[in-house]
């Protein structure tokens, strides 16, 4: 019953910034980890950033220093601030929520396009 809805995607020029937001609908209990991953058509999905309930964060190497993840497990919300965007960041970005019982939920995605 849980649904995740992403927003904030769009078209930006190289070096620009975007903030992605995700909100869960329905009851979400026992969230362990929230995060973002992305996928380019024809490529394998890759994890971008995660945040745990205690605030610990993880970023893939290419995102370090440019992206910042934040979230509120109690509210079921997670955001990704992206600065210094590069063409290689172009992808569909998905938010995900990992529940303590092993269940994983993800949204439908939001398109991020970085191009001049």
Average pLDDT of every residue of the chain: 93
26-50 pLDDT tens trace: 777 888 899 999 998 777 899 999 9
Q: Write the DSSP assignment of the chain as a string of letters.
A: --EEEEE--EEE-TT--EEEEEEEES----EEEEEEEEE-TTS--EEEEEEETT--EEE-GGGTTTEEEEEETTTTEEEEEE-S--GGG-EEEEEEEEETTS-EEE---EEEEE--
Look at residue 23 and tell me whether its pLDDT is greater than 80: yes
């Amino acid at each position: 019953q849980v649904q995740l809805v992403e927003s904030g995607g769009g078209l930006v020029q190289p070096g620009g910034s975007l903030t992605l937001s995700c909100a869960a609908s329905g009851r979400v209990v026992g969230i362990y980890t929230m995060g973002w991953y992305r996928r380019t058509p024809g490529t394998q999905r890759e994890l971008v950033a995660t945040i745990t309930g205690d605030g610990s964060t993880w970023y893939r190497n290419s995102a370090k220093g440019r992206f910042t993840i934040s979230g509120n497990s109690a509210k079921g919300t997670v955001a990704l601030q992206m600065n210094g965007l590069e063409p290689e960041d172009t992808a569909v970005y998905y938010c995900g929520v990992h529940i303590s019982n092993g269940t994983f939920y993800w949204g439908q995605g939001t398109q991020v396009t970085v191009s001049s």
